[in-house]
Amino acid sequence: MTGMNGTQSIDSPWGVSVFGAASVDAAPDLARLRVAISQTKNKPGDAFAATRTGVNRIREVLRGHGVPETAVSTSRLNLASQWSYGNERTFLGYECTASFVIELRELDILEAVLVDVVDAGANEVKGVEFDVRTKRELRARARTAAVAAAREKAALYAEAAGVHLGPVIHIKDVDAEQMQGYRSHSGNHGGGGEGDLTPGRVTVSAGVVLGLSLVGG
């Protein structure tokens, strides 16, 4: 058919293809703090020593808050030369850096831990990520609901077209990154109390494309 593009014509008709999406909300019960400590000294050995001392201080602070060693991952010490680039290139020294990922299961101590690790020498705060420990179960619920949403949509199309749905002949999972647009329009994520770092909920989403055959009405 002339004048028809790929979105207006079906070259090989076989049935109906529908997209379904769903999300499940849950209160967060886990937070990951990403921080780092960097020290710049004239000599590499001094930079290593200063950073290692800071790492020990941060670990001591975390022990004081009852955070287990297994909940703290630390990168190896990394060393890089630092320069300033103004009118002249000037050597500033050797910068040694160690990064931490701290998992907290007691969210009520989050702010106190963050303040204390900064006071202990963590001079880079890369962010706080909230999560739920039951994400696998929540994702399964979201996927089941996404399939139901896709089947409901297909049934409406079939009824409007005067045909009946046949069996499902194709299932395609939609990658979580492609769900960003859906999640941004799926509702207000909300927040915690005023001044509270804890969000009101964590949203777990899923999407699916179903292909179903059609039979005459």
For residues 34 and 36, give the distance between their C-alpha atoms in angstroms, rounded to a whole number.
7
Do 57 and 23 fall within a single domain?
A: no
Is 2 within the bounds of a domain?
Answer: no
Is 7 within the bounds of a domain?
Answer: no
Do 112 and 70 fall within a single domain?
A: yes
Q: Domain of 42?
A: 30-131
Domain endpoint, select from 86, 101, 131: 131
Do 64 and 144 fall within a single domain?
A: no
For residues 121 and 137, give the distance between their C-alpha atoms in angstroms, rounded to a whole number.
38
107-116, 129-138, 182-191 — which is least confidently predicted? 182-191
Interval 17-32: pLDDT, tens: 999 999 999 999 999 9
Q: Mean pLDDT throughout 154-161?
A: 94
Q: What CATH number should be reported for the domain holding residue 103?
A: 3.30.70.2970
Q: Mean pLDDT throughout 163-192?
A: 70
Instruction: Give the pLDDT score at 182.
Output: 56
Is 65 within the bounds of a domain?
Answer: yes
More confident residue, 118 or 215: 118
Listed in sequence order, the residues at least 6 apart from 126 whose beta carbon sits closer than 8 Å to its beta carbon are 34, 35, 36, 99
Is 3 within the bounds of a domain?
Answer: no
Do 34 and 109 fall within a single domain?
A: yes
Interval 28-44: pLDDT, tens: 999 999 999 999 999 99
Q: What CATH number should be reported for the domain holding residue 191?
A: 3.30.110.170
Sign of CA dihedral 39, 44, 49, 55: positive
More confident residue, 95 or 216: 95
Do 42 and 125 fall within a single domain?
A: yes
Instruction: Give the pLDDT score at 33.
Output: 96
How many domains, in total, are found in the chain? 2
Instruction: Give the pLDDT score at 166.
Output: 94
Do 56 and 127 fall within a single domain?
A: yes
For β-strands 124-131 and 202-215, DSSP reports them as: unpaired
Instruction: Give the pLDDT score at 87.
Output: 84
For residues 82 and 79, give the distance between their C-alpha atoms in angstroms, rounded to a whole number.
10
User: In a 3-state reduction of DSSP, which class is residue 187?
Assistant: coil
Is 189 within the bounds of a domain?
Answer: yes
Do 122 and 144 fall within a single domain?
A: no
Backbone angles phi, psi at 112, to 5 degrees: -65, -40
Concatenated DSSP letters of 190-216: ---STT-SS-S-EEEEEEEEEEEEEE-
Buried b (16+ CB within 10 A) or exposed e, 162-177: eeebeeeeeeeebeee
Is 4 within the bounds of a domain?
Answer: no
Instruction: Give the pLDDT score at 86.
Output: 80
> What one-character DSSP code corresponds to residue 133?
T
8 A C-beta contact, residue 73 and residue 79:
no
Domain endpoint, select from 131, 161, 178: 131
Is pTM beyond 0.75? Reply is: no
8 A C-beta contact, residue 101 and residue 33:
yes
Domain endpoint, select from 70, 100, 131: 131
Do 67 and 147 fall within a single domain?
A: no
8 A C-beta contact, residue 16 and residue 212:
yes
Do 37 and 86 fall within a single domain?
A: yes
Buried b (16+ CB within 10 A) or exposed e, 83-118: eeeeeeeeeebbbbbbbbbbbbeebeebeebbebbb
Strands of the chain, DSSP E = 16-26, 30-41, 72-74, 78-85, 89-104, 124-131, 164-174, 202-215
Is pLDDT at 14 greater than 60 in this prediction? yes
Is pLDDT at 157 greater than 50 in this prediction? yes
